[in-house]
Structure 1
Amino acid sequence: MTLAVWVQPRAKRTEVAGRHGEVLKIRLAAPPVEGAANAVLCQFLAEALDLPQSAVTVVRGHTSRRKLVAITGASAEAVAKLG
């Protein structure tokens, strides 16, 4: 399954911050440097969905705030509970 997210790097803490239009907004404590924010995003989503980190990957938007994330092994209900 894929999930569209809008990220806000350099936040105080990593958390779901509601919606940004049609997509889920996630604040990330990491800076957008050398993939650090993408790594934190994948780690955060994996922990929130109780999945291994390898089950969550950024497939589009590696250098953008708007990202498309592929999630393997999560139910649609679990993803819907994120936000």
Structure 2
Amino acid sequence: MNCQIARLSFTRTGLLTLCERSCGVVKSSVFTNVYQLRNQRSFAQSDMPKKDKTSKTPQKQPEPPTGPVSTLKDGQLAIAIHAKPGAKHNAVTDVSSEAVGVAIAAPPTDGEANAELVRYLSKVLELKKSEIVLDKGSKSREKIIKVTASISKEEVLEKLKSEAAS
């Protein structure tokens, strides 16, 4: 009697008890039920809907900057600067596709070179010092300068290139 109760409860899970094996009560119907349950499980797993990876909205790749001057989301301009502090005089050394090289006549201590860079760029771009802000790279040679004034990208590039040529 105990074997029959155990057999009924364990056939759902597909397990056979030691009692059934030792008593020899195992019938072919138990094996058939176990076989059917295992097939139902594997069939049910294969019928699960799979996630469609192509249904996601395509992410827009940000456009690589075409030069050292780029437009930010809020309409302001960002200028990539490669600072060279400790020079004899302030000068725009080169305008490449990655950054604008600027020699700064101030030592790179206590933010003196950063302040001098902002002063020099405001003179070159003919803007107020309050319209030019050091955005990133206060302790690095690679800096990002944010221009808050209403000036076009082309004007900024033209002024920087003319300063580099002189």
Asked if structure 2 preserves the Cα contact closer than 8 Å seen for 1:5 and 1:26, the reply is yes
Point out 4+ residue stretches in structure 1 off by more than 4 angstroms: none
Structure 1 residues 23 and 57, CA gap change in structure 2 (3 angstroms): same
RMSD: 1.3
> What amino acid is aligned across from residue 40 of structure 1 in structure 2?
E
2:114 corresponds in structure 1 to 38
**Offset of 1:22 from its aligned partner?**
1.4
Structure 1 residues 69 and 21, CA gap change in structure 2 (3 angstroms): same
Q: Does 1:59 align with 2:110?
A: no
Q: Does 1:12 align with 2:88?
A: yes
Aligned partner of residue 12 in structure 1, secondary structure: coil
Gaps of 5+ in 1: none
Gaps of 5+ in 2: 1-76, 162-166
Tell me the TM-score normalised to structure 1 length. Answer: 0.93
Structure 1 residues 53 and 17, CA gap change in structure 2 (3 angstroms): same
Aligned length: 83
1:76 corresponds in structure 2 to 153
Identity %: 34
Structure 1 residues 20 and 9, CA gap change in structure 2 (3 angstroms): farther
Aligned partner of residue 11 in structure 1, secondary structure: coil
Tell me the TM-score normalised to structure 2 length. Answer: 0.48
Query: Distance between the aligned counterparts of 1:53 and 1:41, measured in 2?
Result: 10
Q: Which of 79, 89, 92 in structure 2 is aligned with 1:3?
A: 79
Higher helix residue share: 2
Greater RCO between the two (CA within 8 Å, min separation 6)?
A: 1
Higher strand residue share: 1
Aligned partner of residue 25 in structure 1, secondary structure: strand
Query: Distance between the aligned counterparts of 1:5 and 1:60, measured in 2?
Result: 10
1:24 corresponds in structure 2 to 100
